[in-house]
Structure 1
Amino acid sequence: MKTTGNTIFISGGSAGIGLAIAKKLNATGNKIIINGRSEERLTDALKELDGAAAIQGDLSVEADRIRIAEDLKTNHSDVNIIINNAGAAYAYLLSETTNAHEKAAIEMNTNYLAIIHFTELLLPQLLQKTAAAVVNISSLAVFGSHKFLPTYGATKAALHSYTVALRYTYEEQKNLQIYEVYPPLVNTEFSAEIGGANGIPPSEVADELFTALEKGQFDVPVGETKKYYAATQEAFAKIKS
């Protein structure tokens, strides 16, 4: 995948991993369009991105997804990469809540269903490009759950399954590539309540994604996730042999 001259839409691009990716790809000669719920955060983020644009909205809301997709089709028809980064997570113990199903529903909608719908809305445009990509930001949580994030991992596992199916669906269409990034704990405001201060910097995720785009490496494990990813690949290889 070329790493310059793209027009890239990044959901959740006003902070954390999304902003780090926006900065990296902006600095390497790409046009960036960031999305987020907060107009104030978007305005602040744009100050750090040369020539970038922003579209405010909550992609977990269907009406906003449709509006943002139409905005991209009408005003940014050159978009050839979408990075589905926006997410939701609740840190809690199942033994200390009576509304786990409500938290899980929000996480599943944001981390899985909304991404499927938004990608579906943009696929016709992406398929018209000479070179295009969908990048889904999943998680180390794909490889196992955690008692303090009891329902979050399932949503990322679902996203992983969808991403693999999407890749298989379009593997013969060489103009569309499907990437999945697996960050471990990252030091962002998003992960603060689960010890994010002990995580890797978001710039490390951005650097790994950039390298993967250069190489055409569709699975992008980052940091600690590399050992889990390697173990699963080894297990799959044994099953196939």
Structure 2
Amino acid sequence: MNTSNNTVLITGGSAGIGFEIAQQLGAAGNQVIITGRNAERLEAAAAQLKNTTAIVSDVSSPGDVSQLVAQLEEKFPGLNMVINNAGYSASPYRLAPGVDTFEKASAEIQTNYLSVLRLNELLLPLLSKQAHAAIVNVSSIVAFAPSINIPGYSISKAALHAYSRVLRITLNDTPVRVFELMPPLVNTEFSKEIGGEKGIPASQVAAELIEGLKNDVYEIHVGDTAGMYQLYLSSPENALQAINAGR
């Protein structure tokens, strides 16, 4: 996949991994559109980025998504890359009585999986018009080995992983290629409550994504995810124990 001269949508692009991807792709000569729920934060991010347009939009809102798609069709008809980066994780919790696990997991699955499915489906007609196009779904190391402290998030990312594999096969005979970016723990505000300061920088995730796109690596295992994947292949139980060590 060419990594310059694209028109790229990045959901959740005002901070963390999304911001770093926008920064690196914008600097490489791509036209970038970032979305997020907070207008002030979004505009502040866009002001720091090259070749970037900000659109306030909540991926979990059907109305917002419909309006976003209409704007893209009108103003960015050459859109050929969608990076589904927006995510949500409730405060760390465990699957135990009295912690409202249904409501927490419902919100996580809505944002991290179902919202991605909806946006991709609505944008596929536009993407399919391009000579070359890509969908990038940002999942996680916990798609292979779920964490006891973020169960709903883990489950939602496992669903996104399965969906990405199915979508890749489904679109095999179209111009649209499906990539999956699978980071480990990343040092961002998003992951602060689960020890994010111990994680890799978001800039590394963005750089490895771009390298993976260049080389048509459809499942991009960033940092420790590569080792976790190999452990998972040899022993899913050992991978599960490793991700939950000391917890």
User: If the length of structure 2 is used for normalisation, what is the TM-score?
Assistant: 0.92
1:131 alignment partner in structure 2? 132
User: Over aligned residue pairs, what C-alpha RMSD do you find?
Assistant: 1.5
Matching of residues 89-104 of structure 1 within 5 Å:
89-90=89-90, 91-95=92-96, 97-104=98-105
Does the 8 Å CA contact 2:93/2:99 hold for their aligned counterparts? no
One-letter identity of the residue aligned with 1:30:
N
Contact 2:18–2:85 (8 Å) recurs in 1: yes
Structure 2, unpaired ranges of 5+:
236-247
Q: 1:233 to 1:29 in 2, by over 3 A?
A: farther
CA offset digits 1:150-196 (Å, max 9, x no partner): 211110000011100000011122x2110000000001111011111
Query: Could you say which residue in structure 2 is the equivalent of 1:79?
Result: 79
CA contact (8 A) 2:30 2:51 kept: no
Task: Tell me the distance in 2 between the aligned counterparts of 1:98 and 1:137.
Answer: 27
CA-CA distance at 1:2 after TM superposition: 0.5
What's 2:149 paired with? 148
Partner of 2:213: 213
Q: Please tell me the residue identity of whatever aligns with 2:33.
A: I
Query: 1:105: Cα distance to partner?
Result: 0.4
In structure 2, what is the Cα distance between the partners aligned to 1:224 and 1:98?
31
| Pairing 1:38-187 to 2, within 5 Å after superposition | 38-90=38-90, 91-95=92-96, 97-173=98-174, 175-187=175-187
Alpha-carbon offset, residue 96 of structure 1: 6.8
How many Å separate the matches in 1 of 2:17 and 2:61? 21
Q: Which runs of 5+ in 1 are unaligned?
A: 236-241
1:228 CA drift (Å): 2.0
Distance in 1, matches of 2:116 and 2:72, equals 16
Give, in angstroms, the shift of residue 93 of structure 1: 2.7
Q: Distance in 1 between matches of 2:214 and 2:128?
A: 20
> Quick check: 215-224 or 95-104, which moved more?
95-104
Cα deviation 1:199-226 (Å, max 9, x = unaligned): 1000010000000111011110001100
- Residue type of the partner of 1:206? A
Q: Tell me the distance in 2 between the aligned counterparts of 1:96 and 1:222.
A: 35
Task: Work out whether 1:202 is the aligned partner of 2:202.
Answer: yes
Looking at structure 2, the residues matched to 206 and 177 of structure 1 have their Cα atoms a distance apart, in angstroms, of 18
The one-letter code of the counterpart of 2:18 is G
Q: Which amino acid aligns with 1:16?
A: G
CA distance in structure 2 between the aligned counterparts of 1:132 and 1:149, rounded to whole angstroms? 33
Q: Please give the alpha-carbon distance, in whole angstroms, between the structure 1 residues aligned to 2:157 and 2:212.
A: 20
The alignment partner of 1:156 has SS state of: helix
TM-score in terms of structure 1 length: 0.94
Cα distance in 2 for residues equivalent to 1:121 and 1:232: 34
The whole-number CA distance in structure 1 between the counterparts of 2:42 and 2:118 is 23
The alpha-carbon distance between structure 1 residues 176 and 232, as it changes in their structure 2 partners (threshold 3 A), is farther
